[in-house]
């Protein structure tokens, strides 16, 4: 069974890049009839906040992403310790005593020599006595995972194709801080093993992390560490999608802050966000598709390209208008102005870019409307219209047909003065629908008032 996960750290709000990752993992699981796990990566106790956990849940719920399981890394510390012990016993973890400043100096020296700034494994040269002396000085070690440099790291990426890394060109990753807290690399691999994750889909900025984690997976399996959901020795399938960039094709700080709160404030519908992000970066057309099953059925990793995925807020606004034009009355009834029924929504919907704009258009029905000044010939025309108005199933068609015959007017000269007198505007919803909502008495009164 396909099992995917979305693993945000509760150190801030979700932004559009996070949302895209969550969406694609959700779609991947739903298409396969599999399991989508929400995993809260909250091992960073100093920065994690419960308010952010609640906000993540609320945002995913608003977007319509249901999850089958929720896990918290903070509740799994015993498992990480067990994995740490197994790797340490296998000789794959070693203590390091360099300070941050010392490591920075090393990196600068390597860069000045034209070398990659990777860790030189200096800690492996310390004798047990030297290690004991460091501890006696009060220096607590941080811990690194020792990469196997004998063989290249290879996998077939679901988007990027065959990948190959030379482990000697990668730093042994720090997996545990000196204070005993965990970094991302090992706990994430432990969780994927325990939870039976079969597909890891994330941004291309994690490609080198994947190379490292493949070795962690392999080392954990070799050490005898396993989980309930993992078949011994198996690895997840990995896929890395291109990152989002701004309209100009550059990484944008705005994308790092643009989240659900901003979308809600602007009146963006969840369906519009999903319609855009579901296909952004793929070869499929981006259209205002409100039916999620259509998007899920067409979701294929093979359609993703390697080029950066350009996020344009103008595209989102365009899609939002297209989605709003499809929304049924039942979906928006609680967000409409008092008195607006299904007929009213149907009348104004084609003119909306956001649902909240319905209130302004509904004012054309309830009044007051803007008084317009008309020339004398138009005043006479409007007085004739007030007299000619007959209420029926389609009073607008009846009225315009009668006036065309009696006055000889047609086109703009026929329709515009009537619209201006009845709504105070030069454009707007279909008058056949709007006139029925205004009602006979009010419509006749507006025509006569404009004729004065």
Determine, yes or no, domain membership for 379: yes
Determine, yes or no, domain membership for 211: no
Q: For residue 278, name the pLDDT band (cuts at 50, 70, 90).
A: very high
Q: State how far the Cα of 250 lies from the Cα of 187, in Å rounded to an integer.
A: 32
Task: Kindly state whether residues 415 and 345 are assigned to the same domain.
Answer: no
Task: Kindly state whether residues 408 and 433 are assigned to the same domain.
Answer: yes
Beta 244-245 vs 309-310: how paired, if at all? parallel
| Residue 425: closest CA among 339, 353, 341, 348 | 348
Mean pLDDT in residue range 187-210: 96
For 145, other C-beta atoms within 10 Å of its C-beta total: 22
> Are 216 and 153 spatial neighbours (Cβ–Cβ below 8 Å)?
no
Determine, yes or no, domain membership for 47: no
Q: In this structure, is the dihedral angle defined by the CA atoms of residues 174, 178, 184 and 187, taken in order, positive or negative? A: positive
Q: For residue 391, name the pLDDT band (cuts at 50, 70, 90).
A: very high
For 444, other C-beta atoms within 10 Å of its C-beta total: 16
> Are 330 and 346 spatial neighbours (Cβ–Cβ below 8 Å)?
no
Task: Kindly state whether residues 361 and 380 are assigned to the same domain.
Answer: no
Determine, yes or no, domain membership for 50: no
pTM of the predicted protein model:
0.91
Q: State how far the Cα of 417 lies from the Cα of 423, in Å rounded to an integer.
A: 10
Q: Which helix or strand (DSSP H or E) is residue 131 part of?
A: helix 128-136
Residue 418 has pLDDT above 70, yes or no: yes
Q: Give the domain CATH number at 289.
A: 1.10.1160.10
Determine, yes or no, domain membership for 294: yes
Structure tokens at 99: 């300070």
Task: Kindly state whether residues 340 and 311 are assigned to the same domain.
Answer: no
Q: State how far the Cα of 303 lies from the Cα of 276, in Å rounded to an integer.
A: 15
Instruction: Return the ∠ at Cα 153 (arms to 150 and 158), rounded to 5°.
Output: 170
Burial of 370 by CB count in 10 Å (0-12 exposed, 13-18 middle, 19+ buried)? exposed
In this predicted model, what pLDDT tens digit does every residue of 9-27 receive, in sequence order?
999 999 999 999 999 999 9
pLDDT of residue 231: 56
Task: Kindly state whether residues 429 and 375 are assigned to the same domain.
Answer: yes
Q: State how far the Cα of 43 lies from the Cα of 74, in Å rounded to an integer.
A: 5
Task: Kindly state whether residues 285 and 355 are assigned to the same domain.
Answer: no
Determine, yes or no, domain membership for 398: yes
Partners of residue 143 on adjacent β-strands: 95, 176
Residue 419 has pLDDT above 60, yes or no: yes
Last residue of a domain, one of 267, 297, 324: 324
Question: Residues marked as binding for ATP?
Answer: 253
Task: Kindly state whether residues 335 and 395 are assigned to the same domain.
Answer: no
Q: Which helix or strand (DSSP H or E) is residue 244 part of?
A: strand 244-245
Mean pLDDT in residue range 39-48: 93
Question: Residues marked as binding?
Answer: 253
Task: Residue 316: give the domain boundaries.
Answer: 245-324
> Would you call the peptide bond into 49 cis, given omega within 30 degrees of 0 as the criterion?
no
Task: Kindly state whether residues 256 and 311 are assigned to the same domain.
Answer: yes
In this predicted model, what pLDDT tens digit does every residue of 305-328 receive, in sequence order?
999 999 999 999 999 999 999 999
Q: Give the domain CATH number at 404.
A: 1.10.10.350
> Are 70 and 40 spatial neighbours (Cβ–Cβ below 8 Å)?
yes
Determine, yes or no, domain membership for 341: yes
Residue 243 has pLDDT above 90, yes or no: yes
Mean residue pLDDT of the chain comes to: 95
Q: State how far the Cα of 149 lies from the Cα of 230, in Å rounded to an integer.
A: 26
Least confident range of 2-16, 88-102, 241-255, 397-411? 241-255
Mean pLDDT in residue range 141-169: 97
420 phi/psi in degrees, rounded to 5: -60, -40
Determine, yes or no, domain membership for 319: yes
Number of domains in the chain: 3
DSSP state of 184: S
């Amino acid at each position: 069974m396909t099992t995917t996960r979305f693993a945000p750290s509760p150190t801030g709000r979700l932004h559009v890049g996070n949302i895209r990752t969550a969406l694609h993992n959700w779609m991947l699981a739903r298409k396969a009839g599999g399991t989508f796990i929400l995993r809260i990566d909250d091992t960073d106790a100093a920065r994690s906040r419960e308010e952010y956990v609640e906000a993540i849940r609320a945002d995913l719920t608003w977007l319509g992403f249901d999850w089958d399981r929720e896990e918290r890394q903070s509740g799994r510390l015993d498992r990480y310790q067990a994995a740490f012990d197994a790797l340490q016993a296998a000789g794959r973890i070693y203590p390091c005593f360099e300070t941050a400043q010392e490591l920075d100096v090393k990196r600068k020296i390597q860069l000045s020599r034209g070398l990659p700034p990777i860790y030189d494994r200096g800690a492996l040269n310390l004798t047990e006595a030297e290690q004991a002396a460091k501890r006696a000085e009060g220096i607590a070690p941080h811990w690194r995972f020792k990469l196997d440099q004998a063989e290249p790291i290879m996998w077939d990426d679901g988007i990027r194709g065959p990948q190959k890394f030379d482990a000697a060109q990668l730093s042994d990753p720090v997996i545990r801080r000196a204070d005993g807290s965990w970094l991302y690399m090992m706990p994430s691999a432990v969780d994927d093993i325990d939870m039976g994750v079969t597909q890891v889909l994330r941004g291309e900025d994690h490609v080198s992390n994947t190379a490292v984690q493949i070795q962690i997976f392999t080392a954990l399996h070799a050490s005898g560490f396993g989980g309930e959901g993992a078949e011994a020795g198996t690895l997840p399938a990995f896929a890395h999608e291109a990152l989002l960039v701004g309209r100009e094709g550059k990484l944008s700080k705005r994308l790092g802050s643009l989240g659900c709160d901003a979308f809600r404030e602007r009146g963006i519908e969840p369906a519009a966000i999903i319609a855009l992000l579901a296909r952004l970066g793929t070869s499929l057309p981006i259209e205002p598709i409100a039916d999620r099953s259509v998007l899920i059925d067409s979701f294929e990793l093979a359609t993703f390209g390697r080029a950066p995925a350009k996020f344009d807020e103008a595209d989102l606004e365009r899609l939002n208008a297209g989605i709003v034009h499809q929304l049924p009355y039942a979906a928006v009834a609680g967000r409409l102005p008092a008195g607006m029924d299904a007929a009213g929504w149907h009348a104004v919907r084609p003119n909306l870019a956001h649902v909240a704009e319905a209130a302004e258009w509904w004012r054309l029905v309830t009044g007051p409307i803007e008084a317009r000044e008309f020339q004398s010939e138009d005043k006479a025309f409007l007085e004739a219209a007030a007299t000619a108005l007959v209420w029926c199933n389609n009073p607008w068609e009846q009225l315009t047909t009668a006036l065309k015959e009696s006055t000889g007017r047609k086109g703009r000269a026929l329709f515009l003065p009537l619209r201006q007198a009845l709504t105070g505007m030069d454009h707007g919803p279909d008058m056949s629908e709007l006139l029925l909502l205004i009602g006979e008495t009010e419509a006749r009164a507006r025509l006569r008032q404009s004729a004065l």
